[in-house]
Structure 1
């Protein structure tokens, strides 16, 4: 008795009636070469302002994290010996996070203010 042939497997990626490939999503933004020069200037100003804010927060965080070992070494009562673990966990686990939240809050307020200024400048142009 001959075995029946096994049907070939097929990978289905779209509905059977669809023959055309759907167009890729393209946001409804204007091309940059069609924008007036004043808007180009404002976009560049916004990008620079956002970059400045990001670098300020990043630099502040880098300085604070880099100086943390020096701070832990100079804590009162530690001398040159090892720092008590509870104190280290207190500084790293509790004292640092309000500072991170304050920097994050400042950055968000600054970014929103930059965007408001950009919107006002573009609407006025």
Structure 2
């Protein structure tokens, strides 16, 4: 059986494709997990953790206040309805999901921005 032909790359000797470029030292530190690279990654992780705790607090505080709001509603007449739906269901339905989706989108945008900043910083260093 014949052996398959080997692929050969033909390039001009003066092009960058002929020889790979020297990687940035900071990028190499991150990829090789040197102590300096670990400092870079830990800084990114601390930033992401700080953001996660901030978003968690911003979501949990209003959600923790919901029982107090509903307890205050218990003193109201039982027939309070908006658009044919009881007030507690409206309070639990619409604003909670709007809060969760908004917090998730904000978290995603900020986390991606932190990662972009990290990559730019590593490539600049």
Q: Report the TM-score range of the alignment, normalised by the length of the smaller protein.
A: 0.5 to 0.7
TM-score, normalisation: structure 2? 0.62
Gaps of 5+ in 2: 1-27
8 Å CA contact retained: 2:59, 2:99: no
Query: Which digits, 9 at most, give the CA deviation of each residue in 1:77-119, with x for residues without a partner?
Result: x536769571111111112111111111110011001100110
Give the number of aligned pairs. 94
Change (3 A) 1:37 1:86: same
Flag the structure with higher helix content: 2
Name 1:25's counterpart in structure 2.
none
Alignment root-mean-square deviation, CA = 2.9
State which structure, 1 or 2, has the greater radius of gyration over its C-alpha atoms.
1
Gaps of 5+ in 1: 1-29
Q: C-alpha distance in 1, partners of 2:104/2:71?
A: 27
Moved over 4 A (4+): 30-33, 80-85
Q: C-alpha distance in 2, partners of 1:59/1:119?
A: 28
Name 1:123's counterpart in structure 2.
123
